[in-house]
Amino acid sequence: MSERAKRQYRGYRMVQADLIKELAIAFAVVAGLVLLLAFLFSSPDQPTLTAQEVATNHPAELEATVIHILDGQNMIAAYGPPYNHGSGSLQRIGFISPQAWAGITLPLNAKSVFILTPLSRVAPLDPPLSSALSTFRAASAHQQAAWEHSYQVALDHATVVHGQVVLPASDSGPLPIMIGAYMNLARSGALEALINVNGRVYQTDFTRALLVLQGAPLTRVAAGQELLGPEWGQMKEPGNYPGAVWLWFYTLLYQLPPYVNSPVADLLAGATVGVVTLLFMFIPWIPGLRDIPRKVKVYRLIWRGHYAKRKK
Amino acid sequence: MNWTTRVRQWLLREIPMEDLLPDELPAYVHSYVYYFGVLTLASFLMLVLSGIILVIFGPQWWHVSAVGLFVNSIHFWSVQAFFFFMVLHLWAQFFMSAWRGGRGLNWVTGVVLFLVSILTAFTGYLSQQNFDSQWIALQGKDAFNALGVSGFFNILNFGQVYGLHIVVLPLVLALLIGVHLYLVRSKGVVTPVLDSASTDREAHHDE
Amino acid sequence: MFSLLTTHPFDIFDLTGSDLAIVLLMVIVFVLALVLPHPSHGHIGRKRS
Residue B158: give its domain's CATH number: 1.20.810.10
pLDDT tens by residue, A65-121: 999 999 988 888 888 999 989 888 889 888 889 999 988 999 999 999 999 999 999
Residues B41 and B90 in one domain: yes
Residues B112 and B184 in one domain: yes
Please check whether residue A100 is in contact with residue A90, taking contact to mean a CB–CB distance below 8 angstroms.
Answer: yes
- A12 φ/ψ sector (left φ>0, alpha ψ -120 to 50, else beta): beta
Residues B78 and B124 in one domain: no
Contacts of C46 in chain A (CB under 8 A): 13-14
Interface touch C38/B31, C-beta < 8 Å: yes
Domain-located, residue B201: no
- The span from the CA of A80 to the CA of B51, in Å, is 37
Q: Chain A: give the shortest CA distance to residue C10, in Å.
A: 12
Interface touch A13/B27, C-beta < 8 Å: yes
pLDDT tens by residue, B107-165: 999 999 999 999 999 999 999 999 999 999 998 999 999 999 998 899 999 999 999 99
C-alpha triplet A8, A10, A16: angle, nearest 5° = 85
Residues B115 and B155 in one domain: yes
B187 close to A (CB below 8 A): yes
Interface touch A267/B147, C-beta < 8 Å: yes
Contacts of B79 in chain C (CB under 8 A): none
Structural domain range at position B113: 101-188
What pLDDT, on a 0 to 100 scale, did the predictor assign at position A75? 87
pLDDT tens by residue, B21-62: 888 888 888 899 999 999 999 999 999 999 999 999 999 999
Kindly tell me the number of DSSP H helices and DSSP E strands found in chain A. 18, 3
- Comparing CA positions, the residue from B77, B95, B97, B75 lying closest to residue B85 is B77
Domain-located, residue B198: no
Please check whether residue B26 is in contact with residue B101, taking contact to mean a CB–CB distance below 8 angstroms.
Answer: no
Of A11, A26, A99, the CB nearest to B199: A11
Domains of chain C: total:
1
B61 close to A (CB below 8 A): no
Domain-located, residue C22: yes
Other chains touching A, judged by 3 or more CB pairs under 8 Å: B, C
Residues B132 and B168 in one domain: yes
Structural domain range at position C24: 3-28
Q: Give the β-pairing of B24-26 and A164-166.
A: unpaired
Please check whether residue A272 is in contact with residue A253, taking contact to mean a CB–CB distance below 8 angstroms.
Answer: yes
Q: Which residues pair with A110 in a beta bridge?
A: none
Contacts of A236 in chain C (CB under 8 A): 15-16, 19
Contacts of C23 in chain A (CB under 8 A): 245, 248
Domain-located, residue C45: no
Domains of chain B: total:
2
Q: Chain A: give the shortest CA distance to residue B18, in Å.
A: 6
- The span from the CA of A201 to the CA of A225, in Å, is 36
Please check whether residue B14 is in contact with residue B179, taking contact to mean a CB–CB distance below 8 angstroms.
Answer: no
Which distant-in-sequence residues (6+ apart) come within 8 Å of B44 by Cβ? B82, B173, B177
What is the percent of chain B with per-residue pLDDT over 70, rounded to a whole number?
94
Residues B114 and B78 in one domain: no
Contacts of B190 in chain A (CB under 8 A): none
- The span from the CA of A167 to the CA of C24, in Å, is 54
Interface touch C25/B27, C-beta < 8 Å: no
Domain-located, residue C37: no
Of C15, C19, C45, the CB nearest to A15: C45
Q: Give the β-pairing of A159-161 and C46-47.
A: unpaired
Residues B149 and B88 in one domain: no
